[in-house]
């Protein structure tokens, strides 16, 4: 029996013009309190950059089901409130009950149709590192 290969989740920026700057985010669910950093471990042509890592405190707030657009069968929703941020290089102290959002930027260089790939790694003290694959197609 072989060991399964765990592939990182893909954050696809889609079609991006050469030289255009596009930002996207993804959320990490911390398994425990930690200090976290985020760094590029693969970065085709230097196209990707971690802009910041942001921690949000989350509160539950009631939902009025009679309001237009209110989620069905829900009496409360989780609402994020900014707590703190880092550039990804400086360790950011987070708690397991916070939402942690990593903001990544791509500025691809090259010819139309080419793919640029990268991998960002989020490291938390006491965790197994979390990786996200990044991709953009140059239009």
The pLDDT of residue 38 is above 80: yes
Instruction: Specify the CATH number for the domain of residue 64.
Output: 2.60.40.10
What pLDDT is attached to residue 4?
Answer: 44
Return the SS3 of 26. strand
For 44-64, the pLDDT digits (tens) are: 889 999 999 999 999 999 988
What pLDDT is attached to residue 8?
Answer: 60
Our CA angle for 135, 15, 136, nearest 5°, is: 15
Residue 2 lies inside a defined structural domain of this protein: no
pTM of the predicted protein model: 0.85
What pLDDT is attached to residue 54?
Answer: 98
Mapping DSSP onto H, E and C, the string for 56-108 reads: EEEEEEECCCCCCCCCCCCCEEEEEEEEEEECCCCCEEECCCCEEEEEEEECC
Domain holding 89, by residue range, is 9-138
How confident is the prediction for the chain on average, in pLDDT? 90
Number of domains in the chain: 1
């Amino acid at each position: 029996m072989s060991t399964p290969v765990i592939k990182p989740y893909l954050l696809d920026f889609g079609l991006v013009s050469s030289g255009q700057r596009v930002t996207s985010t993804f959320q990490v669910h911390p398994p425990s309190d930690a200090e976290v950093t985020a760094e590029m471990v693969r970065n085709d042509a230097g196209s990707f950059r971690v802009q910041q890592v942001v921690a949000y405190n989350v509160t539950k707030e009631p939902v009025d089901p009679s309001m237009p657009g209110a989620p069905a069968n829900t009496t409360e929703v989780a609402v994020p409130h900014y707590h703190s941020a880092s550039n990804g290089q400086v360790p950011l102290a987070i708690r397991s009950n916070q939402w942690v959002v990593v903001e990544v930027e791509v500025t691809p260089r090259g010819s139309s149709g080419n793919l640029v790939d990268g991998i960002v790694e989020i490291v938390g003290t006491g965790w197994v590192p979390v990786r996200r694959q990044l991709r953009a197609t140059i239009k």
